[in-house]
Amino acid sequence: MALDAWSIQIDRTSKLFNSLSDDQLKQEVASGRNSGTYLLGHLAAVHDALFPLLGVGEKLYPQLEEVFIKNPDKSGLPKPDTKTLRQCWMDVNKKLDQHFNSFTAEEWFQKHNAVSTSDFEKEPHRNRLNVLLNRTAHLANHLGQLTFLKEK
C-alpha cells in the first residue's frame, strides 16, 4: 500500500511534467518561488539519492546534488537543459521502481544507510519503508506546487 501511494504520486508528477512545455517549466510555480525546472531537477536529485540511502547502488546522476539540493534555484550555477532533466527524472524513477518491486516485506523493514546499526536497534522504524513514506510526502508537497504551472 505504501508503494502504491508512492507510485500514484510518481505517476501524477510524471504526467504533469509531460503535459508542461519546457517554457512552462521555466516559470516560477508562484511569484518569487522555485521554477518548475528547478523542482524537476530537485525531485530527480532527491530520488537519485535513494539508491545509496537504501543500499541498492550508486546515484545515476550525482552531479545533480550540487545544483538542485545543496543550492537554491537562483544560485547562478549552470543547470542541465530541461530535456536532460526530464530524462534524469524518468531514469531514476524507473530504476527505483525495479528495486522497490523486488524488495521483500522483510527487506522493506531493514535499516537504511543513514542510521547506524546500534541506533537502528533502538529505533527499528528507521527503515527503508519509512524512507519511502517520507519521500512520498516530500514529492506530494512539491507536486501540489507544480500544479500551479498548469493553465487555469
- Cell readout for 58 is 550508486
CA distance linking residue 75 with residue 60, whole number of Å: 23
Phi, psi angle pair for 4, to nearest 5°: -60, -45
- Centre a 10 Å sphere on the Cβ of residue 69 and count the other Cβ atoms it contains: 14
**How far apart are CB 60 and a second copy at their closest, in Å?**
25
Residue ranges in 1-30 that form contacts with a second copy under rule CB under 8 A? 1-2, 4-5, 8-9, 29-30
User: Burial of 85 by CB count in 10 Å (0-12 exposed, 13-18 middle, 19+ buried)?
Assistant: buried
Q: 79 or 135, CB closer to a second copy?
A: 135
Q: Are 2 and 129 in contact (CB under 8 A)?
A: yes
> Across the strands, what pairs with 14?
none
Site for a second copy in 133-152 (CB under 8 A): 133-134, 136-138, 140-145, 148, 152
Q: Which is nearer to a second copy, 62 or 144 (CB)?
A: 144
- Least Å distance, CB 150 to a second copy, is 11
* Nearest in space to 68 (alpha carbons), one of 35, 112, 25, 94: 35
33 contributes a contact to a second copy by CB under 8 A: yes
Shortest distance (Å) from residue 62 CB to a second copy: 26
Nearest distance, CB of residue 37 and a second copy, angstroms: 17
Please state the closest distance from residue 145 (CB atom) to a second copy, in A. Answer: 5
| Cα–Cα nearest to 88, from 30, 38, 48 | 48
For residue 118, state whether it binds a second copy (rule: CB under 8 A): no
Q: By CB under 8 A, name the binding residues for a second copy.
A: 1-2, 4-5, 8-9, 29-33, 125, 127, 129-130, 133-134, 136-138, 140-145, 148, 152
